[in-house]
Structure 1
Amino acid sequence: MMTNLFSSFEPTTMFNMSLNWTSSLIIILLIPSTFWMISSRYSSLYLMSMKTLSKEMSILLGNSSQPGSSTLFISIFSLIFINNSMGLFPYIFTSTSHLVMTLSLALTIWLALMIYGWSNNMIHMFTHLLPQNTPLFLMSFMVIIETISNLIRPLTLSIRLMANMMAGHLLLTLLGNLNLSVPMLISMMIIGVQFLLLTLESAVAMIQAYVFTILSSLYTSEVS
């Protein structure tokens, strides 16, 4: 029985160990192997999706990107999408609903981009702080605004993913608790609403992984 509304997001087990975080390793089991001579339907669908995403990443990153950049963002997309999707199944911990997971990803990407950008393209980074055709009396304010917007990027990336994943799970939990103390007809209606919400959450799982990856690639294109 849950002790409070947010206890379903608590990463602890009966052994007082954070074993629920091992659910993030499920991605290793779900990525199809490529050493078979004949690919399965699941493997073909996965490879086709990754090729489509790779083409889009290549367009966003441009020709000046480092080799392997698109592969990095495809891996991030796979990690977030599989964790988001597996969290919709019963008794599987959703690691992407915690700020520890999302902030670790966002802060690592942002720090890597900042270190690379300021050490290799310092002049280019300074030019991003002041947009073109800015009036003279607004230049100092624009530099402050652009600096703040650059500093809060990891927070916006991580909180957006965490909030969207947690909101759907909380709503499903609330409806599930309400379903225990209502008549049969209302209970059937609640189950139908939960099914619709589960379908919506499946779409949200993919959309949020896509948004996180696309925004990260856009930040990379600005640095390079």
Structure 2
Amino acid sequence: MRGWGRKTQGIVASLPIWYYSRVRQLALVIFAVLFLSACGPKKVQVNAPPLPRVSSSELEGLASYYAEPYHGRRTASGEIFDSYREMTAAHRTLPFNTIVRVTNKNNGREVDVRVNDRGPFRDGRVIDLSLRAAREIDLVRTGTAPVKLKILKGAAALPPSGASRPVYAVQVGAFENPRAAEELKQQLAKKYPDVTVQSFSGQKTVYRVRIGRESDIQTANRLASRLRKQDFQPFVVRVN
């Protein structure tokens, strides 16, 4: 081993000067590469918006469509409703800008729409389509059709500050007569807190009786279940 050590020392001593220069240059290059890679921009993983959670009753039922007199008016999201050119829809609970695939169960035709409004406010209906979207699945001729919804993409844009948390209510009835709405409100107020009557203007003014302002959709669904046992026909709506 001692002889081997003397041999290696002799070999190292006999190496030319340019060899050490090359080794030094290579070491500097490696150091520079490692330094720059450490200082370079980090890749930031951007996650897609999570798909919203909704009950199965909100994903299957009847679809309808709407055009006049709502065309040109502001939707619940603040956008102007363009029933003839835009592939949009109204849903009671899905966040605005959610992308949904609507399949007509009668003929298998599909259309992808973006939620930008609230509705439909009739029991058994799960989605209201723009006229253009309704034509894609041959819905205009029949007016309504059984459909199945599939959520393709969560909300593409963040809601404005102050409205980031969803708020849900349970709609129990809708009346053209404000006195009838007030009577139902008084009846419900004996058992439930936070009962309100809200007016909505379309072709006619409709007075909708709603209960609660829940931040959790499951809580709102449980309230709706209790009301069904009392022979009401309630459904959950998102109010913001």
Bucket of the pairwise TM-score, normalised by the shorter protein: under 0.3
TM-score relative to the length of structure 2: 0.25
Q: TM-score, normalised by structure 1?
A: 0.26
Q: Which has the higher helix share?
A: 1
Q: Larger radius of gyration, structure 1 or 2? A: 2
Q: Which has the higher strand share?
A: 2
